[in-house]
Structure 1
Amino acid sequence: MQHDASDRRSGTGRLIYLIGPSGSGKDSLIDASRERLAAAGVEIARRVITRSAEAKGEAAHGVTAEQFEALRAQGGFAMHWRANGLDYGIPRQVDDWLAQGRAVLVNGSRAYLAEARQRYPGLLAVLVQVRPEVLRQRLLARGRESAEEIEQRLARNARLQAVTDPSLHVLDNSTALASTAEALFALLRDEGVLPQV
């Protein structure tokens, strides 16, 4: 779906919904692109996760299950889901940013995509993929899961990749992260989220 400057003038921003299997490099891609995105006026939502602050991974806001439930009950989340035994929430602040006409990038969940599309019909869904052998190496290297859990993740990812969705914009992150970041910016320009250079 093409969006132009009239969307920004009308006060409707664009949600960039980044998805991909655990270990595909979504957090690394966000970190590598953070300064350029900020310079272009793109906000990056910080997820709230029921994981301790000491846990390795993204720069998320770690909360207890009780704190998460309290935030959810208070309407603190624009979106929330459960995956891999953890609760994830996107703070309601993203709605304020979008209402101000700003583009917002969120680290989403493929399982939640249909619901996210209902809430944000113009969202730009971006799937970060890696070749299975690369994904296996990355999951093993980070050491968060057992070998059996990694194989289950790989099998689940293969099932998800088998389901083709023409509305997903795919970025291959199997090689250099800088190349993936450039592909992300090219996509954002093509989609009218960022101005053409």
Structure 2
Amino acid sequence: MAGKLIYLTGPSGSGKDSLIEAARPHLAVRGCEVIQRVITRSAEAVGEEAIGVSLEQFQALKARGAFALDWQANGLAYGIGVQLDAWLKQGRHVLVNGSRGHLREARERYPDLLAIVLRVDTDVLQQRLLIRGRETSEQINDRLARNQLFLDSEQALVADRVHLLDNSAELALGVKSLLALIDTEITSSAQRVNAVADQT
């Protein structure tokens, strides 16, 4: 059976990087890889352990077919290497730190992906953004406004087969919820495959 693509997204400050790192050893036990992103920013930039490249390098990699998925957001280009496809074919599950704006395109290529969007209460998000100190006050206000719009659209996300995962509380609870969701989805997928096999 092919592996499952776990497409995790969420607004800036929702805690994606912290959640992924805390869940990493538990994911490994489940045969789930966490794939690095290629991003057009300095390798010394604060944030996830991504592969930093110049825009020219990114475009050259894309031209050579090095990416299974790629998109642009917040003035940066993001790419997911074709290692993703190799792992999925091997039956390994793969977690991707994705983009909400690119979900439709990702789903066209991987129809069976598990889409997860982190949600965070606006007051919690404000505290996190202030603590990390990356944005100006104006940028923080913009992010808070976008987060509120996102919270207001939750019902539409659920209707679009997107799983909402609340990450407003302590990290351990977020990890527990993420793993429970992944376990449920992987079990359901295996049962669907077995049911089809039994009918043939």
Work out whether the TM-score is over 0.5.
yes
Query: Which amino acid in structure 1 is aligned with residue 136 of structure 2?
Result: S
Q: Which runs of 5+ in 2 are unaligned?
A: 191-200
* Aligned position for 1:169: 163
Give me the whole-angstrom Cα distance separating, in 1, the residues matched to 2:27 and 2:163: 18
* Aligned position for 1:14: 4
Matches within 5 A, 1:98-137: 98-137=88-127
Runs of 4+ displaced beyond 6 Å: none
1:36-73 C-alpha deviation (Å, 9 max, x unpaired) = 11122101110011111111100111111111111111
Give me the whole-angstrom Cα distance separating, in 2, the residues matched to 1:141 and 1:49: 24
TM-score when normalising by structure 1: 0.90
1:161 shift after superposition? 2.7
Give me the whole-angstrom Cα distance separating, in 1, the residues matched to 2:129 and 2:79: 23
Query: Which amino acid in structure 2 is aligned with residue 188 of structure 1?
Result: I
1:191 aligns with 2:185: yes
1:142 shift after superposition? 1.3
1:178 shift after superposition? 0.4
TM-score when normalising by structure 2: 0.89
Mapped contact 1:26–1:128 kept (Cα < 8 A): yes
1:120 shift after superposition? 0.4
Give me the whole-angstrom Cα distance separating, in 2, the residues matched to 1:63 and 1:193: 38
Matches within 5 A, 1:146-185: 146-163=136-153, 164-166=156-158, 167-185=161-179
Q: Which runs of 5+ in 1 are unaligned?
A: 1-7
Mapped contact 1:51–1:63 kept (Cα < 8 A): yes
* Aligned position for 2:62: 72
- SS in structure 1 opposite 2:28? helix
1:91-127 C-alpha deviation (Å, 9 max, x unpaired) = 1110111111111000000000011111100000011
1:162 shift after superposition? 2.3
1:193 shift after superposition? 5.3
1:85 aligns with 2:79: no
Identity of matched residues, %: 57
Give me the whole-angstrom Cα distance separating, in 2, the residues matched to 1:193 and 1:144: 39
* Greater helix content: 2
Give me the whole-angstrom Cα distance separating, in 2, the residues matched to 1:83 and 1:151: 18
Give me the whole-angstrom Cα distance separating, in 2, the residues matched to 1:131 and 1:98: 34
1:49 aligns with 2:43: no
Root-mean-square deviation (CA, aligned residues, Å) is: 1.4
Tell me how many residue pairs correspond in the alignment.
185
Give me the whole-angstrom Cα distance separating, in 1, the residues matched to 2:3 and 2:30: 13
